[in-house]
Structure formats: C-alpha cells, structure tokens
C-alpha cells in the first residue's frame, strides 16, 4: 500500500467509526425523547397507549381536582380538543386553571394521560412556542404577534440588567 492509500484508508475508517458512534447514540436517545403534542394532534393521529410523549395546552377552567395522596387530575385543552391528565406529586407553584402547561408521560389503555412531569409557564409574559402554535391552529390565540420568550436581543452595554 502506498502512503496515499494508507491515509485514505485511515480517514475512511475514522469516518466509519464516527458514523457508527453517532448512530448508536441516536438509537440510544430515541427511547428517551418525548415529542410535543396538543390534544388535537392526539385525536388526529390516534392515541398509542404506553408511548411516551409531551402533551401541552392550557389547563381547562374548572377541571382541577385534588385527591388523596397528592393525586391531581385535570384537563389539558387546545380549545379544539381536550385530554384528561392524572398526576401524582407536587405541581409547580404557578400551576393553575387557564394557564399553559406541558406534561410528560403516556396514555394508559383507558385513554387517561398519566403524567410523571408537570411544567407550568413561568410568568404571564411567556407562552411556550408549541402552545402558541397549537392555540393559533385552533383559532384561540389572543396574544399579539408571536409568543413572547426571554429576550436575548440586547447587546452588551445596552439597557439595564438585573
């Protein structure tokens, strides 16, 4: 083998090894990825019991019920469809009816979404982009323009910082 062939073989071997490592990492992570869905998305594509997803929307007014052993049931809506959620544990302080929420978990065979994580929006000026998009698709968006998130547009030295 000439030096050029050795170098080419080494480069190809390295790329093949790198590709295999990336492929294995993506395969390993694919089981832990939870995709965001609105209740309308679930109705559209069908509910798959046991499939881990993120369900997002607004906590429906009058739906929060607190039971024994820190069990909380509530409905998540995108104003077109609604999904019932069950969660056992402490919810964030900002969790309440009429507020944006994203829950992680899976549907059981009865069609109840059993959540193991509850994320509530953190202030009145922020709505997660996924929820904003779902509300816009449902024709229920009442905000101005796009969802407001944390602003990182100030350049160093402009304005005041906390």
Give residue-wise pLDDT tens across range 30-86. Answer: 766 656 788 988 999 888 899 889 999 899 999 999 998 889 999 999 888 999 999
Tokens for 140? 């229920």
CA distance linking residue 39 with residue 48, whole number of Å: 13
Using a 10 angstrom Cβ sphere, with 0-12 exposed, 13-18 middle and 19 or more buried, the burial of residue 113 is: buried
150 confidence band (pLDDT: 50, 70, 90): very low
Give residue-wise pLDDT tens across range 100-124. Answer: 899 999 999 999 999 999 998 755 4
Q: Is the pTM of this model over 0.75?
A: no
CA distance linking residue 120 with residue 100, whole number of Å: 6
Using a 10 angstrom Cβ sphere, with 0-12 exposed, 13-18 middle and 19 or more buried, the burial of residue 102 is: buried
Phi, psi of 87 (to 5 degrees): -145, 135
């Amino acid at each position: 083998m000439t030096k050029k062939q050795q170098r080419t073989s080494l480069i190809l071997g390295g790329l093949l090894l790198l590709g295999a490592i990336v492929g294995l990492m993506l395969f390993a992570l694919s089981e832990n990825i939870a995709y965001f869905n609105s209740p309308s998305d679930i109705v559209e594509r069908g509910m798959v019991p046991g499939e881990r997803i993120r369900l997002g929307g607004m906590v429906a007014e009058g739906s929060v019920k607190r039971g024994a052993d820190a069990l909380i049931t509530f409905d998540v809506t995108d104003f077109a469809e609604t999904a019932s959620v069950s969660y056992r544990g402490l919810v964030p302080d900002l969790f309440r009816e009429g507020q944006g929420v994203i829950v992680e978990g899976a549907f059981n065979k009865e069609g109840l979404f059993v959540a193991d994580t509850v994320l509530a929006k953190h202030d009145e000026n922020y709505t997660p982009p996924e929820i904003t998009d779902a509300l816009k698709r449902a024709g229920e968006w009442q905000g101005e323009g796009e969802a407001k998130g944390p602003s990182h547009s100030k350049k160093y030295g402009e304005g005041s910082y906390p």
